[in-house]
């Protein structure tokens, strides 16, 4: 564990707000403070702040396995108020379920990113849906039916077919949907034919309907999947953001090094080539800004996450 002083020397004084606390968060270049719900913790401690600072992001939710919990604490101690965390663990093992519980008891504010080759309505996931309700934390799930790479396999398959049943069966569980199948199903004509469908959205898609009908469902607009959905049909986007302004959460899922598109932003996924060389955080914040009022922008990039994670805004 680093001391705060060692941490300051390592990452520089820019890591800190003048007065630590969310209320004092700087407004920054986006016109309101920004919380990145979907930020995978980087191995190098200083690299985490480099991305936040580079993209103009105030604070972020670290998504990690429990094995990263010491580094989470180092970051939280070194940059007060800038990092929350969600823990992920394999729901198909008893140890995984124990780790999720222990992590929440030691400060994790949710489960995620839950990305496993297990059915959306299978017994393994059902067990953690119930646990999330019991511990009163949200669960962030990656839904994907179409491979990005040869033999990748599906992640939480069965979203379109079975997720409404889950929302009904677990009304006390707060779900946060994310990734390809979740966002492709905003369009009613989607049949798993492509990871990232393009062209105009057919109104009445499953995800749009579920966000409207179920108070326990939220949407994380991170990654190419979220950005693509918000970009494919400008005539649809503003109305979609207005209707679900209390249910959507900004996240980046960006892997770029510097908050300006350096390095690799989407894991060399060929289907996400439209974002190659770009910072996904910047691209999605730009789309959100273009299609929202300042009030709605602030809800999606700051207020909604603070309510959901029970943090003062």
Residues near Zn ion (CB under 5 A):
142, 179, 254, 256, 279, 281
Minimum distance of Zn ion from residue 259's CB (angstroms) = 5
Minimum distance of Zn ion from residue 100's CB (angstroms) = 17
Hey, how many other C-beta atoms are within 10 angstroms of the C-beta on 218? Answer: 23
Minimum distance of Zn ion from residue 142's CB (angstroms) = 4
d(CA 20, CA 264) in angstroms, rounded, equals 31
Minimum distance of Zn ion from residue 72's CB (angstroms) = 19
Alpha helices in 82-203 (DSSP H): 94-105, 123-135, 159-169, 180-184
Minimum distance of Zn ion from residue 285's CB (angstroms) = 10
Buried b (16+ CB within 10 A) or exposed e, 186-215: bbeebebeebbbeeebeeebbbbebbeebe
- CB nearer to Zn ion: pick between 2 and 28: 28
- CB nearer to Zn ion: pick between 207 and 245: 207
d(CA 223, CA 219) in angstroms, rounded, equals 12
- CB nearer to Zn ion: pick between 245 and 280: 280
Nearest to 299 by CA among 227, 249, 238: 249
- CB nearer to Zn ion: pick between 31 and 263: 263
- CB nearer to Zn ion: pick between 142 and 298: 142
d(CA 285, CA 221) in angstroms, rounded, equals 10
Contacts of 147 (CB under 8 A, 6+ apart): 153, 154, 195
Cα 185–Cα 190–Cα 191 angle in degrees, nearest 5: 120
Nearest to 155 by CA among 197, 112, 187, 198: 112
- CB nearer to Zn ion: pick between 29 and 239: 29
Minimum distance of Zn ion from residue 23's CB (angstroms) = 26
């Amino acid at each position: 564990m680093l001391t705060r002083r060692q941490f300051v020397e390592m990452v520089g004084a820019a890591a800190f707000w003048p007065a630590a606390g969310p209320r004092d968060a700087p407004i920054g270049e986006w016109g309101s403070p920004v919380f990145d719900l979907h930020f995978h913790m980087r191995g190098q401690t200083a690299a985490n702040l480099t991305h936040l600072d580079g993209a103009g992001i105030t604070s972020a939710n670290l998504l990690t396995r429990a094995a990263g919990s010491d580094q989470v604490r180092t970051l939280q101690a070194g940059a007060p108020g800038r990092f929350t965390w969600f823990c992920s663990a394999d729901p198909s093992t008893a140890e995984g379920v124990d780790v999720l519980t222990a992590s929440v008891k030691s400060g994790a504010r949710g489960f995620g990113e839950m990305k496993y080759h297990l059915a959306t309505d299978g017994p393994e996931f059902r067990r953690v849906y119930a646990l999330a309700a019991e511990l009163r934390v949200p669960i962030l799930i990656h839904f994907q039916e179409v491979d990005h790479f040869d033999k990748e396999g599906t992640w939480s398959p069965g979203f379109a077919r079975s997720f409404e049943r889950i929302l009904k069966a677990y009304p006390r569980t707060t779900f946060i949907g994310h990734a390809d199948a979740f966002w492709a199903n905003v369009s009613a004509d989607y049949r798993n034919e492509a990871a990232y469908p393009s062209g105009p959205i057919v109104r009445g898609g499953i995800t749009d309907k579920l966000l409207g009908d179920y108070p326990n469902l939220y949407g994380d607009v991170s990654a190419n999947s979220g950005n693509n959905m918000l970009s494919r049909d400008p005539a649809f986007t503003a109305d979609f953001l207005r209707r679900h302004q209390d249910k959507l959460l900004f996240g980046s899922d960006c892997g770029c090094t510097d908050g300006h598109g350096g390095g690799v932003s989407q894991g060399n996924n060929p289907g996400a080539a439209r974002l190659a060389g770009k910072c996904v955080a910047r691209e999605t914040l730009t789309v959100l800004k273009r299609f929202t009022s300042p009030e709605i922008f602030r809800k999606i990039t700051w207020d909604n996450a603070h309510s959901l994670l029970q943090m003062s805004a």
